[in-house]
Chains A and B, each alone.
Chain A
Amino acid sequence: MEITPEQKDELRRHGILLTSLEELYNWGRSHSVWPLQFGLACCAIEMIATSMARFDIARFGSEVFRPSPRQADLLIVSGTVTKKMAPQVVRLWNQMPEPKYCIAMGACAISGGPFKQGYNVLKGIDRYIPVDVYIPGCPPRPEALLNGLITLQAKISGQSISGPDAPRHLGSADSCEYPVPEFGGHDLEPPKNPDVWQPPAPARAPKP
């Protein structure tokens, strides 16, 4: 018998809590997201401020910044990703165990930001890593990072652990390695991971 959300609310009002294994699992892991202790640029300062007493990311269960990617669930790309740094970021992402999530924090991590025209700046980390939450701002205030974390928690809560909607890492055949770019003659090789990012089609006005 399927229980509708209205029935569930009715039961909850009477002090009866119904849940499924999936909900319990998602509730648990969405409230204990451990970020990787990894800062890139000025956004990292805001990330540090978020973890301190005034903004206190511990209220949301994410105060455990791990110094090793093996123990982290969340990669907060906090700042400008230069092309020199991009292979390291992707390698760290590869070394994190699944399920893992990525927050692109600030304009630089999203698109290169004010340094987009620089020859040495990656135009968005989503060219190599699947990004779950984008936080605009230059840099985003700690409240914005907290809002991004809450958005990510909502996303985790909605994930199913079986069926066709299950995340990619649950398929036993798929490899979860993302190709690490290398330094080429003029750019990183490859310049993007086509599984993760496709350039948007240019919008042109129709010919008169």
Chain B
Amino acid sequence: MDAHPYAFMAVLLAVATAFPLAMLAVARLWFRFFQPPKPGAVKNDVYECGLPSSGDSWIQFKAHYYLYAILFLIFDVEVVFLLPFAAAFTSFSAGALAAMAVFVLLLAEGLLWAWHRGHLEWM
């Protein structure tokens, strides 16, 4: 009887599963007998430069940076839309032009607002 033409795939799959599992099992057995874990307060310490870790890793971040995120978003989104806008500039309908103008002007208004509030000044 002929084997299924894709039977070798099943064999490959079985070998590809069994081989790493066998390796992991051997490593696990070796670990069990010849690598007893030795945890300790110093060994499990977070920092690895020899200095004792100071303070918490959960620090507070200055909330004022949200303004930079918003300003970045204005330019980022505007560039993403302005590029296809420029590429298709000559073949626009009047409605598309109006929609795009509203979008760009809204973003420009945000920029003007930030400028007016002095957020573009370096803090």
Contact = CB atoms under 8 A, between A and B. Distances in A.
Interface of A: 25, 68-70, 87-89, 91-92, 94-95, 97-98, 161, 169-172, 175-177, 180
A92 B51 CA distance: 9
Contacts of A171: 36
A180 B42 contact: yes
29 contacts: A68-B48, A69-B48, A87-B50, A88-B49, A88-B50, A91-B42, A91-B50, A91-B52, A92-B50, A94-B42, A94-B43, A95-B42, A95-B43, A98-B35, A161-B34, A169-B36, A169-B38, A170-B34, A170-B36, A172-B36, A175-B38, A175-B40, A176-B38, A176-B40, A177-B38, A177-B40, A177-B41, A177-B43, A180-B42
Nearest to B50: A88
Contacts of B42: 91, 94-95, 177, 180
Nearest to A179: B42
B41 to A, nearest CB: 8
Contacts of B48: 68-70, 92, 95
A98 B50 contact: no
Contacts of A69: 48
A169 B48 CA distance: 21
A95 B36 CA distance: 15
A181 B71 CA distance: 51
- Give the size range of B's interface with the partner: 10 to 19
Interface of B: 34-36, 38, 40-43, 45, 48-52
Contacts of A92: 48, 50
Nearest to A85: B50
Contacts of A177: 38, 40-43
A95 B52 CA distance: 12
A47 to B, nearest CB: 17
10 closest Cβ pairs, A-B complex: A88-B50, A94-B42, A177-B40, A176-B38, A172-B36, A92-B50, A91-B50, A68-B48, A95-B43, A94-B43
A84 B35 CA distance: 33
Contacts of A97: 38
Contacts of A175: 38, 40
Contacts of A180: 42
B94 to A, nearest CB: 62
B49 to A, nearest CB: 7
Contacts of A98: 35, 38
Of B45, B49, B51, most A-chain CB atoms within 10 Å: B49
A94 B40 contact: yes
A180 B43 CA distance: 11
B33 to A, nearest CB: 9
Nearest to A94: B42
A79 to B, nearest CB: 14
Of A25, A87, A88, A94, most B-chain CB atoms within 10 Å: A94
A162 B67 CA distance: 64
B52 to A, nearest CB: 7
A169 B38 CA distance: 8
